[in-house]
Amino acid sequence: MSLAEQVIERTGPVPDLPGLPAFLRRVYGARGVRDAADLDLALAGLERPSKLRQIDRAAERIALAVREGQRILFVGDYDADGATSVALGVSLLRAFGAENVDFVVPNRFEFGYGLSPAIVELALARHPDLIITVDNGVSSVAGVERAKAGGVDVIVTDHHLPGAELPQAYALVNPNAPGCHFPSKALAGVGVIYYVLSQTRACLRRERWFGGLGPEEPLLAQWLDLVAFGTVADVVPLDQNNRRLVHQGLLRMRKGLCRPGIVALAEAGRRTLARLTAADLSFALAPRLNAAGRLDDMAIGIKCLLSENLDDARDYAQQLDALNRQRREIQQAMLADAELLLANHELDVRDRYGVVVFDPSWHQGVVGLIAGRLRERYHRPVVAFADSGDGRELKGSARSLPELHIRDALDAIAVRDPALLTKFGGHAMAAGMSISRHALERFTKAFDEEVRRRLPVRALRLKVETDGQLQAEELTLDNALALAAAGPWGQGFPEPLFHGDFGLVSQRVVGGEHLRLVLRCAGRLVGAIAFGRKPLPDCERVRVVYALDVNDYQGQTLQLRVVQMEPSAPSRE
């Protein structure tokens, strides 16, 4: 299918937003923006914490622990959302005056995900009075029971979709829990704990803790860098509430008002703090933080974020950068394996709605990335499995299409065949699961059948959504800067892409694997970069899908960042 056939233009009523360029008003309209109120990203407009079910009970218990000097232990997840959640919880409670705060993060290769009974045993050895889960816990029924049997209260803060049975925790705060009427169901784990601790601060304020027996009252905005980082990294939908959190956090980062760990990660990713964007968090900082959880121990990432001076943070950031380089090498080898595996079964892939891949040599920390890449290439929901290490169980990671809620699909499979999935959980677009190795063929068949039931055939069509075409006079640096300022862009509020035909003036390989282009539009020349692309032979015109971007090398110039590209007409002799 040609690129022209794949392109679908986003549309929507164009809002009346005086002072904005016409193309930007079209972009906003296609994302559901109706008026200026929808663009208000001030902190004053945040949804109120009191709307979260059981948040007052959680906040009062945490405030009691702070006042009485009880031992508080955070149990996090091993991804960037979990790491930022732990760092926020530990550092903010210390700022509240808590004297005994620590954390534990399950090593994914030893303990798996969440507050399992095994993790509780590890936690109990530290003699906590209170365990707080962040970015996990809503499915930890057995773990919570074990903690309670050990005489420890558990507060669950999570955002994942709950199963049929909820843990009997002291309090459970989750916007997606039954009976919770919090309007923003898209909060990341770090957003949930931010809300819980903002309510905790209110409790401590009522008890006249701050400035009395406790320290001076901290300003919660100082922790928005972590909230923004974790929210973007977890690829949750950027509804208006999340956009407020991300926007305000990015403003602080750009002013240098962020913790040394984020400064060090930006340096490692060769990003300029003053011009940091949500895309930089996604593609430069988050992979380095996530590499610790994928290959080693997320405690490295958390210590980076908790570092109080830049030298220490840089040491941790360099460790994370080295892990990320190692992760890239592993990912490239696994992706080559997967492509070969599917090439040998190409007819099967074309005929399937849901694709399942497995290789016994694959690294279980990287299978989610492989599932994502294959989903992009074949435009189908994909599950990639790796051996858990014991030869009996497989651990898988799923990536889906917008038209298919992947956790609901897994739930339906579990209902039909209760013995098939050992455990599973996740979101609409991503999920994790475990199965016994001998059940792989059965799962492959069940997954394809369930996706086939739920996914309309039109959803399998390769498509690229754009915001239409820009006129030559709209290809300006000012418009690129306006788009950068108009974000944050991300999941559910996608970065604007445009399409068009251009004359191809020149192309050359840079950095060994990228393509630097000079394009012509209506007599005007514009530079472009196509990452990971090879030159097009004997080509004079190209059809491209691109983003308006800014090249910061030796000043600022307009640059088109090419996302898709193909020859648009045969070359002339």
- Phi/psi region, residue 137 (left: phi>0; alpha: psi -120 to 50; beta: rest), is left
Least trusted range by pLDDT, from 108-117, 210-219, 398-407, 448-457: 108-117
Mean pLDDT on 431-440:
94
Cα-Cα-Cα-Cα dihedral sign, residues 321, 327, 332, 335 = negative
Query: Is-contact 443 435, C-beta < 8 A?
Result: yes
- pLDDT for 249 equals 98
Tens digit of each residue's pLDDT (9 = 90 or more) over 214-272? 999 999 999 999 999 999 999 999 999 999 999 999 999 999 999 999 999 999 999 99
Predicted confidence (pLDDT) at residue 425 exceeds the cutoff of 90: no
- pLDDT for 546 equals 97
Distance of CA 428 to the CA centre of its chain: 13
Tens digit of each residue's pLDDT (9 = 90 or more) over 385-406? 999 888 899 999 999 999 999 9
Q: How open is the CA angle 275-276-279, to the nearest 5 degrees?
A: 130
Q: Between the CA of residue 566 and those of 126, 203, 314, 374, 499, what are the distances in Å? A: 59, 59, 41, 21, 12
Tokens of 326: 């190692």
Helix-then-strand count for the chain, H and E? 19, 17
Q: Please state, as a whole number, how many other Cβ atoms lie within 10 Å of the Cβ of residue 155.
A: 26
- pLDDT for 572 equals 47
Query: How many whole angstroms separate alpha carbon 496 and alpha carbon 489?
Result: 8
Q: What are phi and psi of 436, to 5 degrees?
A: -75, 150
Tens digit of each residue's pLDDT (9 = 90 or more) over 319-336? 999 999 999 999 999 999
Contacts of 278 (CB under 8 A, 6+ apart): 228, 232, 246, 250, 487, 488, 489, 490
Model confidence, pTM: 0.92
Contacts of 425 (CB under 8 A, 6+ apart): 113, 114, 139, 160, 161, 163, 407, 431, 432, 433
Tens digit of each residue's pLDDT (9 = 90 or more) over 275-318? 999 999 999 999 999 999 999 889 999 999 999 999 999 999 99
HSE-up (13 A, CA, CB side) for residue 338: 30
- pLDDT for 78 equals 86
Query: How many whole angstroms separate alpha carbon 61 and alpha carbon 65?
Result: 6
- pLDDT for 2 equals 87
Tens digit of each residue's pLDDT (9 = 90 or more) over 486-540? 999 999 999 999 999 999 999 999 988 899 999 999 999 999 999 989 899 989 9
Q: What's the chain's length in residues?
A: 573
Predicted confidence (pLDDT) at residue 16 exceeds the cutoff of 60: yes
| Residue 358, strand partner residues | 385
Predicted confidence (pLDDT) at residue 571 exceeds the cutoff of 50: no
Query: Is-contact 433 383, C-beta < 8 A?
Result: yes
Domain annotation for the chain: domains and CATH numbers: 3-37+464-567 (2.40.50.460), 45-222 (3.90.1640.30), 345-460 (3.10.310.30)
Tens digit of each residue's pLDDT (9 = 90 or more) over 472-481? 999 999 999 9
Q: Please state, as a whole number, how many other Cβ atoms lie within 10 Å of the Cβ of residue 350.
A: 10
Residue linked to tokens 């840079």? 510
Query: Is-contact 381 404, C-beta < 8 A?
Result: yes
Measuring CA to CA, which residue among 383, 378, 376, 369 is closest to residue 343? 378
The secondary structure element, H or E, covering residue 436 is strand 430-436
Cα-Cα-Cα-Cα dihedral sign, residues 306, 270, 370, 466 = positive
- pLDDT for 353 equals 94
Q: Is the peptide bond before 488 cis (omega within 30 degrees of 0)?
A: yes
Tens digit of each residue's pLDDT (9 = 90 or more) over 64-100? 999 999 999 999 988 999 999 999 999 999 999 999 9
Give the residue, 350 or 160, on which the prediction is more confident: 160
Distance of CA 279 to the CA centre of its chain: 11
Tokens of 520: 């012509």
Greatest alpha-carbon span in the chain? 84
Q: How open is the CA angle 438-453-367, to the nearest 5 degrees?
A: 45
Provide the 3-class DSSP secondary structure of residue 432: strand
Cα-Cα-Cα-Cα dihedral sign, residues 419, 425, 431, 437 = negative
- pLDDT for 351 equals 84
Q: What are phi and psi of 256, to 5 degrees?
A: 80, 10
| Residue 544, strand partner residues | 500, 565
Tens digit of each residue's pLDDT (9 = 90 or more) over 543-562? 999 999 998 877 889 999 99
Q: Please state, as a whole number, how many other Cβ atoms lie within 10 Å of the Cβ of residue 32.
A: 14
- As a whole number, the mean pLDDT across the chain is 94
β-pair type (171-173, 153-157): parallel
Mean pLDDT on 408-435:
92
